[in-house]
Protein backbone atom coordinates (compact mmCIF):
# COMPACT_ATOMS: atom_id res chain seq x y z
CA UNK A 1 0.00 0.00 0.00
CA UNK A 2 1.39 3.43 -0.98
CA UNK A 3 2.17 5.68 1.99
CA UNK A 4 0.73 8.74 0.24
CA UNK A 5 -2.40 6.91 -0.86
CA UNK A 6 -5.09 7.43 1.77
CA UNK A 7 -6.79 4.12 2.40
CA UNK A 8 -10.53 3.88 1.75
CA UNK A 9 -12.41 3.73 5.07
CA UNK A 10 -12.41 0.22 6.46
CA UNK A 11 -15.70 -1.57 6.24
CA UNK A 12 -17.26 -4.57 7.86
CA UNK A 13 -18.83 -6.79 5.24
CA UNK A 14 -21.34 -9.59 5.76
CA UNK A 15 -22.51 -11.84 2.96
CA UNK A 16 -25.43 -14.23 3.23
CA UNK A 17 -26.59 -16.84 0.75
CA UNK A 18 -25.60 -20.21 -0.62
CA UNK A 19 -22.11 -20.81 -2.04
CA UNK A 20 -20.88 -17.24 -1.61
CA UNK A 21 -17.82 -16.68 -3.83
CA UNK A 22 -14.64 -15.52 -2.09
CA UNK A 23 -13.97 -11.78 -2.22
CA UNK A 24 -11.07 -10.49 -4.32
CA UNK A 25 -8.23 -8.50 -2.80
CA UNK A 26 -7.22 -6.76 -6.02
CA UNK A 27 -8.51 -5.99 -9.49
CA UNK A 28 -5.67 -8.12 -10.85
CA UNK A 29 -7.16 -11.13 -9.08
CA UNK A 30 -10.26 -10.72 -11.28
CA UNK A 31 -8.10 -11.37 -14.28
CA UNK A 32 -6.59 -14.46 -12.72
CA UNK A 33 -9.93 -15.82 -11.52
CA UNK A 34 -12.35 -14.67 -14.20
CA UNK A 35 -10.16 -13.71 -17.16
CA UNK A 36 -11.13 -10.06 -16.83
CA UNK A 37 -10.01 -8.36 -20.05
CA UNK A 38 -6.77 -6.41 -19.95
CA UNK A 39 -8.41 -3.31 -21.41
CA UNK A 40 -10.81 -3.22 -18.43
CA UNK A 41 -7.89 -3.55 -16.00
CA UNK A 42 -6.07 -0.75 -17.74
CA UNK A 43 -9.18 1.45 -17.76
CA UNK A 44 -9.48 0.89 -14.01
CA UNK A 45 -5.95 2.09 -13.48
CA UNK A 46 -6.64 5.00 -15.85
CA UNK A 47 -9.50 5.94 -13.50
CA UNK A 48 -7.02 5.92 -10.62
CA UNK A 49 -8.69 2.97 -8.92
CA UNK A 50 -5.91 1.08 -7.19
CA UNK A 51 -7.83 -1.50 -5.23
CA UNK A 52 -11.43 -2.61 -4.88
CA UNK A 53 -13.62 -1.12 -2.16
CA UNK A 54 -15.50 -3.47 0.20
CA UNK A 55 -18.59 -3.76 -1.95
CA UNK A 56 -16.45 -4.21 -5.08
CA UNK A 57 -14.28 -6.84 -3.46
CA UNK A 58 -17.32 -8.88 -2.38
CA UNK A 59 -19.91 -7.93 -4.98
CA UNK A 60 -17.92 -8.26 -8.20
CA UNK A 61 -17.15 -12.00 -7.78
CA UNK A 62 -20.82 -12.69 -7.04
CA UNK A 63 -21.96 -11.00 -10.23
CA UNK A 64 -19.08 -12.49 -12.22
CA UNK A 65 -20.39 -15.92 -11.19
CA UNK A 66 -23.76 -14.96 -12.66
CA UNK A 67 -25.51 -14.87 -9.30
CA UNK A 68 -28.29 -12.50 -8.30
CA UNK A 69 -27.28 -9.92 -5.70
CA UNK A 70 -28.77 -7.53 -3.17
CA UNK A 71 -26.00 -5.13 -2.18
CA UNK A 72 -26.27 -2.61 0.61
CA UNK A 73 -23.31 -0.29 0.97
CA UNK A 74 -22.99 3.36 2.05
CA UNK A 75 -22.93 6.26 -0.39
CA UNK A 76 -19.53 6.86 -1.94
CA UNK A 77 -18.28 3.28 -1.67
CA UNK A 78 -18.18 2.61 -5.42
CA UNK A 79 -21.39 0.72 -6.01
CA UNK A 80 -21.52 1.81 -9.67
CA UNK A 81 -18.33 0.01 -10.63
CA UNK A 82 -19.46 -3.04 -8.63
CA UNK A 83 -22.09 -3.75 -11.28
CA UNK A 84 -20.71 -2.07 -14.41
CA UNK A 85 -17.46 -4.02 -14.40
CA UNK A 86 -19.11 -7.48 -14.21
CA UNK A 87 -21.70 -6.51 -16.81
CA UNK A 88 -19.05 -5.42 -19.29
CA UNK A 89 -16.95 -8.46 -18.55
CA UNK A 90 -19.87 -10.88 -18.91
CA UNK A 91 -21.12 -9.27 -22.12
CA UNK A 92 -17.60 -9.74 -23.45
CA UNK A 93 -17.63 -7.40 -26.39
CA UNK A 94 -19.91 -4.86 -28.02
CA UNK A 95 -22.61 -6.69 -29.98
CA UNK A 96 -21.26 -5.22 -33.23
CA UNK A 97 -17.92 -6.91 -32.48
CA UNK A 98 -18.74 -10.14 -30.76
CA UNK A 99 -18.31 -13.33 -32.69
CA UNK A 100 -20.68 -15.22 -30.46
CA UNK A 101 -24.39 -15.05 -31.24
CA UNK A 102 -25.56 -12.43 -28.80
CA UNK A 103 -29.08 -12.04 -30.13
CA UNK A 104 -30.51 -8.70 -31.14
CA UNK A 105 -31.25 -5.79 -28.91
CA UNK A 106 -29.98 -4.29 -25.71
CA UNK A 107 -28.27 -6.80 -23.40
CA UNK A 108 -27.94 -4.85 -20.14
CA UNK A 109 -30.17 -2.40 -18.37
CA UNK A 110 -29.40 -0.10 -15.45
CA UNK A 111 -32.38 1.64 -13.90
CA UNK A 112 -31.93 4.62 -11.57
CA UNK A 113 -34.45 6.97 -9.95
CA UNK A 114 -33.25 10.28 -11.38
CA UNK A 115 -31.86 11.51 -14.65
CA UNK A 116 -28.89 13.07 -12.85
CA UNK A 117 -27.97 9.72 -11.35
CA UNK A 118 -28.41 7.94 -14.68
CA UNK A 119 -26.07 10.54 -16.16
CA UNK A 120 -23.37 9.80 -13.55
CA UNK A 121 -23.67 6.06 -14.17
CA UNK A 122 -23.35 6.64 -17.90
CA UNK A 123 -20.17 8.64 -17.34
CA UNK A 124 -18.64 5.84 -15.28
CA UNK A 125 -19.60 3.43 -18.04
CA UNK A 126 -17.88 5.56 -20.69
CA UNK A 127 -14.66 5.54 -18.64
CA UNK A 128 -14.71 1.74 -18.45
CA UNK A 129 -15.59 1.44 -22.12
CA UNK A 130 -12.51 3.33 -23.33
CA UNK A 131 -10.86 1.62 -26.28
CA UNK A 132 -13.84 -0.56 -27.20
CA UNK A 133 -16.83 0.27 -29.33
CA UNK A 134 -19.46 -0.15 -26.64
CA UNK A 135 -22.77 1.54 -27.23
CA UNK A 136 -23.95 2.65 -23.83
CA UNK A 137 -26.95 4.91 -24.07
CA UNK A 138 -28.26 7.35 -21.51
CA UNK A 139 -31.94 7.02 -22.28
CA UNK A 140 -33.66 10.37 -22.66
CA UNK A 141 -36.40 11.88 -24.83
CA UNK A 142 -33.78 12.71 -27.46
CA UNK A 143 -32.04 9.31 -27.49
CA UNK A 144 -35.40 7.55 -27.34
CA UNK A 145 -36.35 9.22 -30.62
CA UNK A 146 -33.06 8.29 -32.33
CA UNK A 147 -33.70 4.73 -31.14
CA UNK A 148 -37.12 4.69 -32.78
CA UNK A 149 -35.25 3.08 -35.70
CA UNK A 150 -34.98 -0.62 -34.77
CA UNK A 151 -31.75 -1.12 -36.71
CA UNK A 152 -30.14 1.62 -34.59
CA UNK A 153 -31.47 0.31 -31.31
CA UNK A 154 -30.45 -3.24 -32.06
CA UNK A 155 -26.81 -2.10 -31.93
CA UNK A 156 -27.11 -0.75 -28.38
CA UNK A 157 -25.34 -2.81 -25.71
CA UNK A 158 -26.31 -1.07 -22.46
CA UNK A 159 -29.17 1.29 -21.59
CA UNK A 160 -29.09 3.48 -18.49
CA UNK A 161 -32.43 5.08 -17.71
CA UNK A 162 -35.04 6.26 -15.29
CA UNK A 163 -38.06 3.95 -15.03
CA UNK A 164 -40.53 6.39 -16.55
CA UNK A 165 -38.51 6.83 -19.74
CA UNK A 166 -38.34 3.07 -20.22
CA UNK A 167 -42.02 2.56 -19.55
CA UNK A 168 -42.94 5.24 -22.10
CA UNK A 169 -40.72 3.61 -24.71
CA UNK A 170 -42.26 0.23 -23.97
CA UNK A 171 -45.76 1.72 -24.26
CA UNK A 172 -44.86 3.40 -27.55
CA UNK A 173 -43.54 0.05 -28.75
CA UNK A 174 -40.09 1.45 -29.57
CA UNK A 175 -38.07 -0.75 -27.23
CA UNK A 176 -37.65 -4.50 -26.74
CA UNK A 177 -36.13 -5.91 -23.57
CA UNK A 178 -36.29 -9.60 -24.45
CA UNK A 179 -32.52 -9.82 -24.95
CA UNK A 180 -31.62 -8.17 -21.61
CA UNK A 181 -29.31 -10.54 -19.71
CA UNK A 182 -28.40 -8.22 -16.82
CA UNK A 183 -30.68 -5.80 -15.02
CA UNK A 184 -29.60 -3.56 -12.15
CA UNK A 185 -31.76 -1.40 -9.94
CA UNK A 186 -29.57 1.34 -8.49
CA UNK A 187 -30.73 3.25 -5.40
CA UNK A 188 -33.06 0.31 -4.93
CA UNK A 189 -34.70 1.77 -1.83
CA UNK A 190 -36.29 4.37 -4.12
CA UNK A 191 -36.83 2.02 -7.06
CA UNK A 192 -38.87 -0.34 -4.90
CA UNK A 193 -40.99 2.19 -3.04
CA UNK A 194 -44.50 3.22 -4.01
CA UNK A 195 -43.39 5.89 -6.49
CA UNK A 196 -41.58 3.52 -8.87
CA UNK A 197 -42.48 -0.03 -7.95
CA UNK A 198 -45.19 -0.52 -10.54
CA UNK A 199 -42.99 0.85 -13.33
CA UNK A 200 -40.10 -1.32 -12.22
CA UNK A 201 -42.34 -4.38 -12.25
CA UNK A 202 -43.52 -3.55 -15.77
CA UNK A 203 -39.91 -3.25 -16.92
CA UNK A 204 -38.83 -6.51 -15.30
CA UNK A 205 -41.83 -8.32 -16.76
CA UNK A 206 -40.55 -7.37 -20.23
CA UNK A 207 -37.09 -8.81 -19.56
CA UNK A 208 -38.02 -12.29 -20.71
CA UNK A 209 -34.54 -13.63 -21.45
CA UNK A 210 -34.15 -16.96 -19.60
CA UNK A 211 -32.11 -16.66 -16.40
CA UNK A 212 -31.71 -12.89 -16.64
CA UNK A 213 -29.29 -11.80 -13.92
CA UNK A 214 -30.79 -9.30 -11.49
CA UNK A 215 -29.08 -7.11 -8.94
CA UNK A 216 -30.20 -4.35 -6.62
CA UNK A 217 -27.84 -1.80 -5.08
CA UNK A 218 -28.62 0.69 -2.37
CA UNK A 219 -27.17 2.61 0.56
CA UNK A 220 -30.10 1.51 2.68
CA UNK A 221 -32.86 -0.99 2.15
CA UNK A 222 -35.90 -0.75 4.45
CA UNK A 223 -37.48 -4.09 5.35
CA UNK A 224 -40.44 -3.56 3.01
CA UNK A 225 -38.20 -2.82 -0.01
CA UNK A 226 -35.91 -5.69 0.92
CA UNK A 227 -38.84 -8.09 0.93
CA UNK A 228 -39.84 -7.00 -2.57
CA UNK A 229 -36.22 -7.19 -3.75
CA UNK A 230 -35.76 -10.71 -2.43
CA UNK A 231 -38.94 -11.86 -4.16
CA UNK A 232 -37.59 -10.57 -7.48
CA UNK A 233 -34.17 -12.22 -7.16
CA UNK A 234 -33.31 -15.87 -7.80
CA UNK A 235 -31.23 -17.61 -5.09
CA UNK A 236 -29.71 -14.24 -4.19
CA UNK A 237 -26.68 -13.37 -2.14
CA UNK A 238 -27.14 -10.43 0.18
CA UNK A 239 -24.09 -8.34 0.94
CA UNK A 240 -24.14 -5.64 3.60
CA UNK A 241 -21.27 -3.21 4.05
CA UNK A 242 -21.24 -1.15 7.22
CA UNK A 243 -18.75 1.46 8.32
CA UNK A 244 -16.55 0.14 11.13
CA UNK A 245 -17.25 1.62 14.55
CA UNK A 246 -20.52 3.22 13.53
Least gap, CB of 58 to ligand ADP (angstroms): 13
How far apart CA 30 and CA 11 sit, in angstroms, is 21
Part of the chain binding ligand ADP (CB under 6 A), chosen from 70-78, 98-106, 165-173, 238-246: 70-78
Name the phi and psi angles at 29, rounded to 5. -60, -25
Least gap, CB of 211 to ligand ADP (angstroms): 26
At residue 230's C-alpha, the angle toward residues 80 and 216, to 5°, is 10
Q: Does 79 bind ligand ADP (CB under 6 A)?
A: yes
Of all residues in the shown chain, the one whose CB is closest to Mg ion is 79
Part of the chain binding Mg ion (CB under 5 A), chosen from 7-15, 48-56, 75-83, 234-242: 75-83
> Would you mind telling me the total number of residues written for the chain in this entry?
246
Least gap, CB of 219 to ligand ADP (angstroms): 7
Q: Which residue in 81, 85, 102, 216 binds ligand ADP (CB under 6 A)? A: 81
Q: Does 122 bind Mg ion (CB under 5 A)?
A: no
The interface with ligand ADP within residues 40-59 (CB under 6 A) comprises 49, 52-53, 56
Q: Does 76 bind ligand ADP (CB under 6 A)?
A: yes
Least gap, CB of 226 to ligand ADP (angstroms): 18
How far apart CA 44 and CA 37 sit, in angstroms, is 11
Instruction: Give the distance, in angstroms, between the CA of residue 172 and the centroid of all CA atoms in the same chain.
Output: 25
E-state strands within the chain: 11-16, 69-72, 108-111, 136-138, 158-161, 182-185, 213-218, 237-243
Q: Is 156 helix (H, G, I), strand (E, B) or coil?
A: coil
Q: How many CB atoms lie within 10 A of CB 85?
A: 27
* Positions in the binding site for Mg ion (CB under 5 A): 79
* Positions in the binding site for ligand ADP (CB under 6 A): 49, 52-53, 56, 73, 75-81
Amino acid sequence: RDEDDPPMPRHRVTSKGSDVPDPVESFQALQERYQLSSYLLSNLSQCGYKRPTGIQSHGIPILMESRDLAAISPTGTGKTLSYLLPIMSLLGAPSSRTKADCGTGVRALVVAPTRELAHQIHNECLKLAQGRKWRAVLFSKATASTLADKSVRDKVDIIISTPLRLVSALKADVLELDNVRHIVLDEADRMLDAEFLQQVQEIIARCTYPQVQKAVFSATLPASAEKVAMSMLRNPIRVVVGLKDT
